[in-house]
Structure 1
Amino acid sequence: MALSALRGALGFLSRLPVGHSEAAWEAFTASPTAFPLAGYVVGALVAVPFLAAGTLPAPVVAAGYLAAVVLVVGVNHADGLADLGDAAAVHGDPSERREVMRDTTVGVGAVLALGAALAALALGALAAAALPAFVAVALVVAAEVSAKLAMAAVACLGRPSHEGFGATVAGDKRPADLLGPLAVVVPVAVLVVPATAVAVVAGLGVAVLARRWAHARLDGVGGDVLGATNELARVGALHAGVAATALFGEVALWTRW
């Protein structure tokens, strides 16, 4: 069941060639824990460029990371962020904002949201690339796990705004269902303290804000909110982890690098 749920999560949350099946999809939508589990796999892959941190110039490492994110994750979640950006620019009630999100036209809000998120991610990657390789890799993995935990948190704490992916994932979830995902992220949270712990907490903070905004502006959460949460939580977690390293230093769980 767990492996099937992980396969379903990777099939939806990444571009990895894991195949698609109805059983895996149903297992994934029924198990919020599959979100952060998939984050470990995705995080390990997108963190590969940071193995060269300290050897290659930081801009080269950061560019490799951005390329890896696009190759492994794709643009599905970024599309959700774009739709949310357009909805945020609308002055109207929740139904009007949701209607704008269904429009295929790209507005100024979408461009601003995507541009700001990409710039922030690039700056966070540059800062991480200046750290020791082990610390940088740990932070990038933690940021990806945190982003997927944030999606699970929105699913467990939010109410669906309309029929669709959001309703499928969040419709029957309760706050207590978040305990599983929280337990899953503990290993990465303590990998390099306090940096990775701060990164995980930052992702949860983004989830709380995203859920609150969506309930107030969209009357609930949907697939676009989940996707946007992933993108924003990744950025927030990476910057928070880098900032914590700069302020407090780092202590690896097994050894100091």
Structure 2
Amino acid sequence: MEDDSYFENEEFSPIKSLLGLLTFSTILPINVYTSIEYMTKLTWCWPFLHVLVGILAAVCGYVSFEVLHLNALFTAVIVYAFLMLITGYNHLDGVMDMADGVMVHGDPERKISVMKDSSVGAGGVATLFLVASLTIAGLYNILDYYFILGIIVCEMAAKTSLITTALLSKPLIPGIGSYFIKETTIVNYLVSTILVICIAFLLGNLIGVVGVLGAIVGGIIIATISKRNFILANGDVLGMSNETGRLFALLFMAIALYFI
């Protein structure tokens, strides 16, 4: 999609751009394509698109847990596998690549070169294992409280984490990630986040809001780590933020479910 010659005569269409963004981030058979510039203009809408993904995952969890009567752990694994599959494992390489870049010694240029390298090191594999394991544990915990709607909240909040990192980062050019970062402004970020918090409240009252706050914290942490190690951010950093944001949303909701 970086070659825009195919789209050079295209006019901006919000609907087409939203569907293009959903096509970009899932394997749903939508097959709507637009230029990367037009698609990323609506980056702030990404969390709302993934409400749909979260609903599908919640249905998967409900069927596994309530209809098939699988235990919470088995259901958590199924839900996580479903989320990874429907999103085309889109951000897992970002988790591994950023982890490899952070782990290597050297200046930012050295770290960026390692992050962009196609090979995967031990740090990347170990970090992916930890993120996946902790996410499954988080899903298990909210299912143990029968908070199935929390699945929708954590998937929506994962994208809020991503755009939080985008807002706080400077783009590494060239790269697809740079388009998302440049199109995330304080105004559209605030609008997006306020609406996400409202949806989370409708789904899970204060528990849902706490989940979104957890995702924002996750996004801030990833942005901070990225600045210290790379100075600039790319798509791998945003991918890490997405997966970390989901994890932090689940962590915060799990704690809130116990205390609230």
Equivalent residue, structure 2, for 1:30? 41
Q: Distance in 1 between matches of 2:40 and 2:81?
A: 28
Q: Which of residues 69, 88, 100 is equivalent to 1:86?
A: 100
Equivalent residue, structure 1, for 2:79? 65
Give the AA of the match of 2:26: S
Tell me if the contact between 1:156 and 1:177 (Cα under 8 Å) persists in the aligned partners. no
Equivalent residue, structure 1, for 2:113? 99
Aligned: 1:202 with 2:219: no
Number of corresponding residues: 244
Aligned: 1:122 with 2:136: yes
Q: Distance in 2 between matches of 1:27 and 1:208?
A: 26
Tell me if the contact between 1:35 and 1:151 (Cα under 8 Å) persists in the aligned partners. no
Tell me the SS of whatever aligns to 1:51. helix
**CA shift in 2, pair 1:69/1:173, >3 Å:** closer
- Compute the TM-score of the two structures, normalised by the length of structure 1: 0.89
Give the AA of the match of 1:45: L
- Structure 1 runs (4+) deviating above 3 angstroms are 52-55
Offset of 1:63 from its aligned partner? 2.2
Deviations 1:100-159 (A, max 9, x none): 012121101101110101110111121122122xx22x2111111111111122222321
Deviations 1:190-225 (A, max 9, x none): 121221111000001111111111112111211000
Give the AA of the match of 1:85: A
Offset of 1:98 from its aligned partner? 0.8
Tell me if the contact between 1:9 and 1:34 (Cα under 8 Å) persists in the aligned partners. no
Tell me the SS of whatever aligns to 2:170. coil
Deviations 1:10-62 (A, max 9, x none): 11221212114225x44330122221112211111122232143543112211
Q: Which of residues 230, 233, 246 is equivalent to 1:218?
A: 230
Q: Distance in 1 between matches of 2:197 and 2:142?
A: 21
Give the AA of the match of 1:58: A
Farther off after superposition, 187-196 or 236-245: 187-196
Give aligned-pair identity as a percent.
27
Tell me if the contact between 1:143 and 1:200 (Cα under 8 Å) persists in the aligned partners. yes
Offset of 1:172 from its aligned partner? 4.6
Tell me if the contact between 1:144 and 1:234 (Cα under 8 Å) persists in the aligned partners. yes
Q: Which of residues 17, 23, 46 is equivalent to 2:29?
A: 17
Unpaired stretches in structure 1, ≥5 consecutive residues: 249-257
Farther off after superposition, 170-179 or 191-200: 170-179
**CA shift in 2, pair 1:186/1:172, >3 Å:** closer
Q: Distance in 2 between matches of 1:83 and 1:96?
A: 13
Farther off after superposition, 156-165 or 231-240: 156-165
- Compute the TM-score of the two structures, normalised by the length of structure 2: 0.88
The 5 A counterparts of 1:43-54 are 43-52=54-63, 53=65
Q: Which of residues 96, 106, 113 is equivalent to 2:127?
A: 113
Equivalent residue, structure 2, for 1:185? 196
Q: Distance in 1 between matches of 2:58 and 2:111?
A: 36
Give the AA of the match of 1:97: K
Q: Which of residues 148, 158, 161 is equivalent to 2:169?
A: 158
Q: Distance in 1 between matches of 2:257 and 2:84?
A: 26
Q: Distance in 2 between matches of 1:162 and 1:112?
A: 28
Equivalent residue, structure 1, for 2:178? 167
Deviations 1:150-179 (A, max 9, x none): 112222232102310121121254322312
Tell me if the contact between 2:37 and 2:179 (Cα under 8 Å) persists in the aligned partners. no
**CA shift in 2, pair 1:185/1:172, >3 Å:** closer
Give the AA of the match of 2:243: E
Q: Distance in 1 between matches of 2:81 and 2:184?
A: 34
